[in-house]
Amino acid sequence: MNSILRFSPLVAVLFLFSNCNSFAQKKTNLSTQIDSVLNISSLKFNGTILISKNGKSIYSKAVGFADFDKKTPLKMDSQFEIMSNTRQITAVLIMKEVEQGKIDLQVPIRKYLPNLKQSWADSITVHQLLNHTHGIVDANKPLAFKPGSQFKYGNEGYPFLGLIIESVSKKTYAEVASALFKKLKMNNTFCYAKDNTRNLVTGYMNDNNHLEKAENTLIAPEKVPSAGIVSTANDLLIWNNNLHKGKILKPETYQLMLQYNIENQHNVFGKEKVGYGYGLRIVDKESPKYYGHTGLGNGFSSVNLYFPESDVSMIVLENEMNANSDLFYKAGITIKNLLLKSDLFNQKQ
């Protein structure tokens, strides 16, 4: 005779409580580990950290000051320059125009910027601007290499993408970006301008324990599409929850952002070369897979990573940049390594 195993209501409740309690305990262990890391004096962490699973925060902390002189404490809604993390936003704005049929990724940019005097406008494509294979080292100099043949990461390509967005939309880059932020309810995210800094925290350079305010020289108006978005940890979580879950782009358009034909090494993403798509680095040859980007400059650094298989986000924003390049992104790398060793990716709750 076949026997059927049945759980009483009490057993079911105890089973559910045990699972939830186990997950809570693992979250607590991870939180304790991160807290311990933040207490390491050599790390000199000053910023905000947000880790989420299934779209909900499981760890958030603001450490240090928004302004060292005034001793203004940082908060989770403090606004930071996210620097090159701006590029995934610009890439999405481009892809939204692609969906509307206004941009063809594979045609020369001359089509959208007919007034460019440079001859290379006839050979560089939108695709090559997006994945840093364009060869531009200076707008007024010859290309460093044939477009599409090499990868050279830099600030030169994305400003042209901003001009293309303006050309096809008949709006300013700030207007197009702001409309998307408003739609997503990213209420604390905006395009930097000298007369529009809202509650932007102060960026600092740390040179051998000597703090000095950083000057806002990197974000000239034309550089905004490359490095000029100001945001918060909470708003970047909103961004991840929408971008990576099909709420901004169509699935096929989103997949185009993740395709790559070029690889490059970056310390935050490991010692090996990883793919570079459209404003995103792609780690897909190991488990867990993850996508993301970094940003550095003006006394700020940012790391925004998303792990699709477990729906985990890790966002680290700092307003104290170490002058020692060996310490760039040190906090983000350390926290990512703790995350990878945790049981978070095996949990379904």
AA identity, residue 144:
A
Average pLDDT, stretch 258-267?
97
Mean pLDDT of the chain: 91
DSSP-assigned beta bridge partners for residue 44: none
Average pLDDT, stretch 153-164?
97
pLDDT band of residue 13 (cuts 50, 70, 90) is: very low
Burial class (CB in 10 A: 0-12, 13-18, 19+), 288: middle
Q: Which long-range contacts (CB under 8 A, 24 or more apart) does 64-67 make?
A: 64/319, 64/320, 66/201, 66/202, 66/319, 67/201, 67/202
pLDDT band of residue 4 (cuts 50, 70, 90) is: very low
d(CA 222, CA 205): 24
Determine the pLDDT at residue 39.
86
Determine the pLDDT at residue 5.
42
Query: Hey, which CATH number is domain 45-341, 3.40.50.10860, 3.40.50.720, 3.40.710.10, 3.90.1150.10?
Result: 3.40.710.10
User: In terms of pTM, does the model score above 0.85?
Assistant: yes
User: Could you report the per-residue pLDDT of 26-74, keeping only the tens digit for each?
Assistant: 567 899 999 998 888 778 899 999 999 999 999 999 999 999 999 999 9
- Is the separation of the CB atoms in 126 and 107 below 8 Å? yes
- Is the separation of the CB atoms in 192 and 231 below 8 Å? no
What are the φ and ψ backbone dihedral angles of 343, each rounded to 5 degrees?
A: -90, 10
AA identity, residue 329:
Y
User: Could you report the per-residue pLDDT of 179-218, keeping only the tens digit for each?
Assistant: 999 999 999 999 999 888 899 999 999 998 899 999 766 6
Determine the pLDDT at residue 25.
55
Q: In the chain, which ranges are continuous DSSP H helix?
A: 9-38, 86-99, 126-130, 158-169, 173-184, 224-227, 233-243, 251-258, 330-341
User: Could you report the per-residue pLDDT of 101-131, keeping only the tens digit for each?
Assistant: 999 999 999 999 999 999 999 999 999 999 9
Determine the pLDDT at residue 196.
84
Determine the pLDDT at residue 216.
66
Residue 156 has pLDDT above 90, yes or no: yes
Determine the pLDDT at residue 40.
83
Determine the pLDDT at residue 344.
86
- Is the separation of the CB atoms in 298 and 267 below 8 Å? no
